Amino acid sequence: MAQSIIQSARRIVIKVGSSLVTNDGKGLDLHALSRWAAEIARLRQQGKDVVLVSSGAIAEGVARLGWKEKPSAVHEKQAAAAVGQMGLCQAYESAFRAHGLNTAQVLLTHEDLSDRTRYLNARSTLLTLLNLGVVPIINENDTVVTAEIKFGDNDTLGALVTNLIEGDALIILTDQKGLFTADPRKDPAAKLVSEAEAGAPELEEMAGGAGSSVGTGGMLTKVLAAKRAARSGAATVIACGREADVLCRLAAGESIGTQLVAKTSPLAAKKQWIADHLQLKGRVTLDAGAVRALQQQGSSLLPIGVAAVDGEFLRGDVVSCIDESGQEIARGLINYGADETRRILRLPTDRIEAALGYIDEPELIHRDNLIIL
């Protein structure tokens, strides 16, 4: 494995899972939080900007409320998150204050990142905090989100934050040593993958199955997070958080865990925002000619190449573009609502005005607002 990318990284997002900040899900492990604060303080001394994405609020809330196990009801999870987030912030504030560092709590929802204005506001806030030498501590706002609009896990949130601030690297700390060729708990011949290209299809085949019962993500979510982070040119390191001084050793260039490197050039900020949408309002099915035009010629999407429309969306929404087999090949900001799109599909551009009585744009999705996946 090559030297760790963390050594040269200037802006880093670090994600720590529930199993690394709690006592087996029974409240916060204050010693562990103090350890992360100490290591991050040393990274800050090296001139690195650090954003911490931390789980643990629900587990702490369950402990504070005296419950014996994590609830299944959404409203009870939200209540536990609200109670636990207080403890999580208090613990991190004390731990970082011991090293002379200020912290800031930032709670995000998918809507904060799917709305363009809120996305830019969140970005500005985080960059301002970093410029002030503050360590932002980010978690999903579990007190208000429901299953339908959740990020799903903090691995995904870590990748989205990496893209948001155009980070150089994402470190995902887990209770596993990294990505293996197979599940090492079941296959003794499984080997650690030291380095690979983020987004390589075989990685998703290697990853699978749930991880710790405390958290919500397994190794697959980490591989997919690395793929997402690579869109902004960021590398991802998946390493065991129980390794001594793991962050400082990575920053010194030591090879630990699995490093997934980004081979593609960073996407432009707007296209990156489009690609990062987790929930889409609808989709359009493209014929083979339209697929070729988008993938091979870098063309805009025209109504004539659209065979079908699904969902209800408005002008300016992000929609998915799929081929006739159902595979998503692109997504973009659409220039017409669902009803208008259904009326102009299969029509050449010069017939849009006759069909609708007006024409907003000659393209259904302009290539500047389109990202090929």
**Residue 346 and residue 214 share a domain:** no
Annotated binding-site ranges: 15, 55, 142, 154, 174-175, 216-222
pLDDT at site 36: 96
Phi, psi of 316 (to 5 degrees): 95, -10
**Least confident range of 118-132, 152-166, 172-186, 206-220:** 206-220
DSSP state, residue 317: -
Q: Which of 216, 248, 271 is the last residue of a domain?
A: 271
**Which of 39-53, 68-82, 108-122, 213-227 has maximum average pLDDT?**
39-53
CB 72 within 8 A of CB 163: no
pLDDT at site 83: 93
Q: Which of 271, 306, 338 is the last residue of a domain?
A: 271
**Residue 251 and residue 348 share a domain:** no
**Residue 90 and residue 9 share a domain:** yes
Q: What is the CATH number of the domain that holds 326?
A: 2.30.130.10
Annotated binding-site ranges for substrate: 55, 142, 154
pLDDT at site 353: 94
Q: Tokens standing for 100?
A: 């002379």
**Residue 189 and residue 334 share a domain:** no
DSSP state, residue 199: T
CA 231 to chain CA centroid, Å, is 11
Question: How many domains does the structure of the chain reveal?
Answer: 2
Annotated binding-site ranges for ATP: 15, 174-175, 216-222
In the sheet with 328-333, reading across from the earlier edge strand, the strands are 306-311, 282-286, 318-322, 328-333, 370-372
Q: What is the CATH number of the domain that holds 233?
A: 3.40.1160.10
Q: Which of 244, 271, 298 is the last residue of a domain?
A: 271
- Structural domain including 347 reads 280-372
Residue 19's pLDDT band (cuts 50, 70, 90): confident
**Residue 261 and residue 214 share a domain:** yes
Pairing of strands 11-16, 103-108: unpaired
User: Based on C-alpha coordinates, what's the Rg of the chain?
Assistant: 22
Calculate helix-pair angle for 74-97, 30-45, nearest 10 degrees.
Answer: 50
**Residue 232 and residue 318 share a domain:** no
Q: What is d(CA 163, CA 52) in angstroms, rounded to the nearest whole number?
A: 14
**Residue 264 and residue 178 share a domain:** yes
pLDDT tens profile 51-92: 999 988 988 999 999 998 888 888 898 899 899 999 999 999
pTM for the model stands at 0.82
Pairing of strands 11-16, 169-174: parallel
